[in-house]
Chains A and B, each alone.
Chain A
Amino acid sequence: MHNFDFVKPSTIAEAVKALSDGDAQALSGGQTLLPSMKQRLAAPGTLVSLTGIAEMKGVCKGDGGLHIGAATPHAVVAREAAAHYPALAALAGGIGDPAVRSRGTIGGSIANNDPAACYPAAVLASGATVVTNKRQIAADDYFQGMFTTALEEGEIVIEVRFPIPQKAAYVKFNQPASRFALTGVFVAKFGDGVRVAVTGASNNGVFRWTEGEKALSSSFSADAVKGLSVDPAEMISDLHGTPEYRAHLVKVLTGRAVAQANG
Chain B
Amino acid sequence: MPKDGGIGASTKRREDVRFLTGKGRYTDDINIRGQLYAHFIRSDVAHGRIRSIDTSAAEAMPGVAKVFTSKDFEGAGGLPCGWQVTDRFGKPMQEPKHPILAEGKVRHVGDPIAVVVAETLEQARDAAEAVVIDIEELEPVLDMKAALADGATKVHDDLASNLCYDWGFVEENKEAVNAAFGKAAHVVSLELKNNRLVANPMEPRVAVGDYEDHSGNHTLYTTSQNPHVIRLLMGAFVLGIPEHKLRVVAPDVGGGFGSKIYHYAEEAFVTKAAHILKRPVKWTSTRSEAFISDAHGRDHVTKIELALDADHNFTAIRTETYANMGAYLSTFAPSIPTWLHGTLMAGNYRTPLIYVNVKAVFTNTVPVDAYRGAGRPEATFQLERLIDKAARELGVDPIELRRKNFITADQFPYQTPVAVVYDTGNYHATMDKLLEISDYAGFGARAAESAKRGKLRGFGIAHYIEACGIAPSNLVGQLGARAGLYESATVRVNATGSISVFTGSHSHGQGHETSFAQVVAEMIGIDAGQVEIIHGDTSNTPMGMGTYGSRSLAVGGSALVKATNKIVNKAKKIAAHLLEASESDIELKDGKFTVAGTDKSVDWAGVTLAAYVPHNYPLENLEPGLEETAFYDPSNFTYPSGAYGCEVEVDPDTGKVDIVAFSAADDFGNIVNPMIVEGQVQGGLAQGIGQALLENCVYDENGQLLSGSFMDYAMPRADDLPMFKVDHSCCTPCTHNPLGVKGCGEAGAIGSPPAVVNAVIDALHRAGHTHVTHIDMPVSPARVWAAMNG
Residues in A lying within 8 Å of B, measured CB to CB: 1-2, 39-40, 173, 176-178, 180, 182, 238-242, 244-245, 248-249, 252
Contact = CB atoms under 8 A, between A and B. Distances in A.
B707 A239 contact: yes
B125 interface: yes
Contacts of B72: none
A245 B785 contact: yes
A63 to B, nearest CB: 39
Interface of B: 122, 125-126, 129, 288, 653-656, 693-694, 696, 698, 706-707, 710-715, 780-782, 785-786
The 7 closest A-B pairs by CB, nearest first: A177-B714, A176-B714, A241-B782, A178-B711, A245-B782, A252-B653, A239-B698
Given A39-B288, A176-B780, A245 B696 contact: no
A254 to B, nearest CB: 12
Given A241-B781, A245-B782, 18 more contacts: A1-B122, A39-B288, A40-B125, A173-B654, A177-B694, A177-B707, A177-B711, A178-B710, A178-B712, A182-B781, A238-B706, A239-B698, A239-B712, A240-B712, A245-B655, A245-B781, A245-B786, A249-B654
Contacts of B126: 2
Given A40-B125, A249-B654, A242 B782 contact: yes
A49 to B, nearest CB: 22
A240 B653 contact: no
Nearest to B696: A239
Nearest to A38: B286
Contacts of A244: 786
B785 A248 contact: yes
19 contacts: A1-B122, A39-B288, A173-B781, A176-B693, A176-B714, A176-B780, A177-B694, A177-B712, A177-B713, A178-B711, A180-B711, A182-B781, A238-B706, A240-B782, A242-B782, A245-B781, A245-B782, A245-B785, A249-B654
A100 B444 CA distance: 42
Contacts of A1: 122
A214 B780 CA distance: 32
Contacts of B706: 238-239
Contacts of B713: 177
B92 to A, nearest CB: 37
A176 B694 CA distance: 7
A37 B414 CA distance: 60
Contacts of B129: 40
A240 B780 contact: yes
Nearest to A249: B654
A177 B710 contact: yes
Contacts of B656: 173
- Which of B655, B656, B710, B781 has most chain A Cβ within 10 Å? B781
- Which of A176, A239, A244 has most chain B Cβ within 10 Å? A176
A14 B696 CA distance: 47
A138 B785 CA distance: 37
A18 to B, nearest CB: 25
- Which of A40, A182, A240 has most chain B Cβ within 10 Å? A240
Nearest to A246: B782
A69 B715 CA distance: 35
A240 B778 CA distance: 10
B125 A242 contact: no
A244 B714 CA distance: 22
A192 B715 CA distance: 44
